Structure 1
Amino acid sequence: MVGVVGTSARAAVHSLARAGFRAWAVDLFADRDLKRTVADCAVCPHDRYPDAIPTLAAQFPPGPVLYTGGLENHPHIVAELARTRELWGNPLEVLARVRDPFALASALTAAGLATPKLVPTGESCPPDGRWLRKPLRSGGGLGIRFAQSGDAPSPHHYFQEFIPGTPMSAIFVDGALLGVTEQLIGEPWLHAPAFAYCGNIGPVTVDTQVANTITRLGQMLAAEMGLRGTWGLDFVLVGSVSFSLEVNPRYTAAVEVLEYAGGRAEPTPPSPLPEGKGEQRQPNPLPPFPKKEGGTEPNIQTTASQAPVLSPSPFRGGAGEGLQTRIIGKAIYYALHAITFPPRGPWDADLAGAFDPWRVPAFADIPEPGSAIETGWPVLTLFVTGTAHAEVRERLQSRAAELDRLFAEHSP
C-alpha cells in the first residue's frame, strides 16, 4: 500500500489505482471522491499544514509514500517522511537544486536553452521590461503578481522576466518525455486568481523544434539535477521557442490528463533510499503498465533525431463512430462568491456505483455537503473529453457557466 500526502491527494490516489496500487492519504480536504477510493485517509488542519503531515502519516501501515503539490517547498517535511518510509519522489538534495530558480536558470543557460531573465538577488525590480514577483516557495501560481519598477528585493521572493505566450506543461518519467499539455492559468471564466493554476488540456502535439528542445531539457535535468520518477516542467511557448519557467519535482496535476487520454497508467518508481540509509540504488521494476480494456498505447511519433512527440491518442468511440482522437480537459472551478456546498448536484453520478479508475469523471475533488467555501477558494474540478482542443475548452467553459448558475442559489 502506498501513502499519498500533500495539499490534495485525490489525483495521485486515482493514478495509483490505475496502476494497480491501493493507497492511504493525508491532505487538506479529504474530498468525497478521495474517501471512497482509499483504504483510509486523514485531514491535515489548515493551521497545522504541512508540519502535522509526518505525525498523521505515522498512523498508517509501513510502506512507501508519495508526495504531491506543495511539499517540495517544505523539504524538512520530505526529509522527515523519508526517515521512516521509502520515498516515491525526489529526495532532499534534488529539491534543493531544482527549486533554486537561480541554479536552474544557470543550468539552462549553460546548456543553451531559453529561460526568462532573473534579477540578481538583492537588487530592485528594473525600470525596463515587464517582471513578475514570484515567491521562492511557489505553488499553483499563488502569490505571483506583476512587479512594479523599483519594487524592493525580498528574501522570500525573486523577480522573473514576464514572457507573453502560451503556458504549457511537460511531464517526464525519469528523463523521458511522457507528454505535453496546455495549462489553464488565471482563467476568468473559472474565477481563478491572477496567475493561479486552474487546469490542463491535452495531450498537445508540438512541432519538431519544440519536441527536440523539451526532450533535451528532460534528459539534461534528469542527468544534471538528479530528477527521477514522475515530474513536470512548466514553460511558455512563443512560436517555436520554449522558455522554461520552473520544475515541479513530483507528481503533478497534469499526469491524470495524459493517463486518461493515453489509456495507460504511469507508475512512480521507488526513489533512492532515504538519507542516511545507504547508497542510492536503481529502482526495482514495477509490474507492467495496466491498460484500460479496449484502450491503446500512446501514439509516439519520432523525428529524425528520435525526439518523441506525444500526439492525442486514438480511442474507440461508440457504435459506428470508428477511431477518434481523444483530448482531455481538466479545470479547477474557483468560488465567485462564498458558497455553502449543496447536498445534491450533477456530481452525484460520480459518487455512485463501483469506482472505475479509468472512467473520466465529470466532476472530481468533490467537497462534503455543507462545506463553507470562501470567495476565491477552489470548489471542485471539472473534466470533459473531446476530439479537438477548441471543442474541449468550449465544453469546460459551458460546464463552468452551469456551475455559476447552480452556485448562485447556494450563497450563505
Structure 2
Amino acid sequence: MSSRQILIIGGSTRAAADSVRRAGWRPICADFFVDWDLQQTAQTIPVRRYPESLPDDLAHIRADGWMYCGALENEPQILARLLEENRNLGPLIGTHPETLAHVRNPSWISSVLRAAGLPCLDVASQSAPPPPDGCWLQKPLSSAGGRQIRVWDEVAERSPFVEPHYFQRRVSGSELSVLFRCDEGKPPAWLGATRALRWANPLPAPTPFSYCGSTGPVTDLPDHIVRSITEIVTTIVSQTSGLNGLVGFDFIEDPQQAWLLEINPRYTASVEVLELASGRSLLSPQPVSCQAVSGRVESGRDHGTNENHQRRIVAKQILYAVESISAPDLRHSFRSIDPWQIPIVTDIPQVPLTIDAGWPICTVFAEGSDPVAVKEMLRMRGEAVRSAIRA
C-alpha cells in the first residue's frame, strides 16, 4: 500500500475510508460516529464537538490530501477554515467551499436549467410558500440523507419547521443517483448509477424520505434518459467553477424524463456500491475513463475478473433504531480488513452505546446476480440485526 495519507472528514467516514484503501492510500478519519470497524482499518482522530471543532482538532495532523463527505457540504465556513488555517493537510480532493453556495442553492440550479431550456422542477422560497395541496415537498436548505423532508400539505402547514427551507414540486418515479467525476476544463465523466432502496425493512427509516441505502449498478437506463442526465449535468458543470472530484447528482426518473433533485458535491454513499460491484477504484490515482452508456464503468482500476463483476449486483441498506436501544454487539460480523471483500455488516457501533430512535444502527450488504435473491439476503441480514438487538 502507498504511504500517501488522506484525511477524511464527515458525519460517517467508514465508506470513504474503504474507498481510499481501495485506491492504495492510507486513511486518517475524523467523524461523528467513530464506528468500531473504522477503528480496525483507519487511524481515527477524536473530535470534541462535531463539526465546529474540526479545524482545531486537526491542527496537528499532517496529510497528503484531504476530502469531505456528508453532510459537510452544508458547512462551507468550516471547510474554508480548514483550507486557510490547516496548511499541513495537502490539497483538497473535491469541490471548493466557495462553489457550494451555487450548487447547493436550488434557485440557482433552477435558473441555470431554465436558461438552457432544460426541464427542471419548480421551486418556491420560504417567503412565498406554494399552496399546501400535497403537490410539493418542504426541504431544509441544509439537508442530507433526506433528513426532515416532508410533504407540504395542510398538516405540515400547521406544524412548525424551524430550519431555513424551500419547496420543490413533487414528481413520481424511481430515485436514481448518478456519480460523475468533475475535473476543471474537462467534460464531466459518468462513473455509474445506483437506485435508492425503498424495500420493506425490518428496522425502517425515520421518515419516508430518509436515505435507506442503494443498489447498483443500474445497467438498464434508456438512451434518452442517459442523454437527458448527461445534458443536465454538463450544463450545470459548465456554469460553475471549482466543482471537482466525485459529485453525486440525484434524480427522479419517470418514463419520459429525468428530473434533477439535488447535487451532492462530494463523496457519496453510493460510491462503494459501484466500486464493489465493478471491482474498480473510483478514487484511483490513474485516470478513469467512463462512457455514459447504461451507467456502466468502461475502464479504470481492475480488481478481479471483468466477467464476474459485470454480473454482480451490490446493495447496502442502513438499519435505523425505531426506539432508543442499547447497541447490539455486532463485532463478530466483521468480515475482513480487505476493502475489496463485500462485507456482511459495516458501520458497526461501539459497545456499550445507546442509540436513540431515528439514528442509524449499522449497514448491511448483499450481493449476487439476481435482484430478488439480493433483496432476500438484505432482509435476512436485517432480521439478524434485529435478533441481536432483542438478545
TM category, shorter: 0.7 to 0.9
SS at match of 1:105: helix
SS at match of 1:213: helix
| Residue from 163, 178, 193 that aligns with 2:171 | 163
| Residue from 327, 332, 350 that aligns with 1:348 | 332
Q: Summarize the Cα distance change of 1:98–1:264 in structure 2 as closer, same or farther, 3 Å threshold.
A: same
Counterparts of 1:12-411 in structure 2, within 5 Å, are 12-38=16-42, 40-45=43-48, 48-83=49-84, 84=86, 85=89, 86-128=91-133, 130-149=135-154, 151=157, 156-174=164-182, 175-184=188-197, 188-194=201-207, 195-205=209-219, 206-226=221-241, 227-267=243-283, 286-287=285-286, 307-311=292-296, 325-343=311-329, 345=330, 347-350=331-334, 355-409=337-391
TM-superposed CA distance for 1:312, in Å, is: 8.7
TM-superposed CA distance for 1:129, in Å, is: 5.1
TM-superposed CA distance for 1:337, in Å, is: 2.7
- Contact 2:134/2:151 (CA < 8 Å) preserved in 1? no
SS at match of 2:352: coil
- Contact 2:145/2:211 (CA < 8 Å) preserved in 1? yes
SS at match of 2:142: coil
Per-residue displacement from partner, 1:238-263 (whole Å, max 9, x unpaired)?
11311100000000010010000111
Q: Tell me how far apart the structure 2 counterparts of residues 323 and 71 of structure 1 sit (CA, whole Å).
A: 32
Q: Tell me how far apart the structure 1 counterparts of residues 303 and 259 of structure 2 sit (CA, whole Å).
A: 32
SS at match of 2:269: coil
TM-superposed CA distance for 1:127, in Å, is: 4.3
Q: Summarize the Cα distance change of 1:358–1:104 in structure 2 as closer, same or farther, 3 Å threshold.
A: same
Mark the runs of 5 or more structure 1 residues left unpaired by the alignment: 269-285, 290-297
SS at match of 1:119: strand
Q: Tell me how far apart the structure 1 counterparts of residues 130 and 199 of structure 2 sit (CA, whole Å).
A: 23
- Structure 2: which amino acid aligns with 1:196? S
Q: Summarize the Cα distance change of 1:181–1:368 in structure 2 as closer, same or farther, 3 Å threshold.
A: same
- Structure 2: which amino acid aligns with 1:250? R
Q: Summarize the Cα distance change of 1:233–1:197 in structure 2 as closer, same or farther, 3 Å threshold.
A: same
Q: Corresponding residue for 1:275?
A: none
Q: Identity of paired residues, percent?
A: 36
SS at match of 2:281: coil
Q: Tell me how far apart the structure 2 counterparts of residues 62 and 184 of structure 1 sit (CA, whole Å).
A: 35
- Contact 1:193/1:376 (CA < 8 Å) preserved in 2? yes
Most deviating of 243-252 and 62-71: 62-71
SS at match of 1:309: coil
Q: Tell me how far apart the structure 2 counterparts of residues 229 and 312 of structure 1 sit (CA, whole Å).
A: 16
TM-superposed CA distance for 1:265, in Å, is: 0.3
- Structure 1: which amino acid aligns with 2:240? M
Most deviating of 383-392 and 364-373: 383-392
- Contact 1:30/1:41 (CA < 8 Å) preserved in 2? yes
Most deviating of 377-386 and 146-155: 146-155
- Count, aligned residues: 368
- Contact 1:9/1:27 (CA < 8 Å) preserved in 2? yes
Q: Tell me how far apart the structure 1 counterparts of residues 265 and 6 of structure 2 sit (CA, whole Å).
A: 18
- Structure 1: which amino acid aligns with 2:293? P
Mark the runs of 5 or more structure 2 residues left unpaired by the alignment: 183-187
- Structure 2: which amino acid aligns with 1:264? R
TM-score (norm 1): 0.82
Q: Tell me how far apart the structure 2 counterparts of residues 316 and 13 of structure 1 sit (CA, whole Å).
A: 20
Q: Tell me how far apart the structure 1 counterparts of residues 343 and 143 of structure 2 sit (CA, whole Å).
A: 29
Q: Summarize the Cα distance change of 1:288–1:243 in structure 2 as closer, same or farther, 3 Å threshold.
A: closer
- Contact 1:222/1:228 (CA < 8 Å) preserved in 2? no
TM-superposed CA distance for 1:42, in Å, is: 2.0
Query: RMSD value over aligned CA atoms?
Result: 2.6
- Structure 2: which amino acid aligns with 1:43? P
Q: Corresponding residue for 2:185?
A: none
User: Does the alignment pair 1:10 with 2:14?
Assistant: yes
Per-residue displacement from partner, 1:367-404 (whole Å, max 9, x unpaired)?
11211112221000111101133332232122212222
- Contact 1:190/1:198 (CA < 8 Å) preserved in 2? no
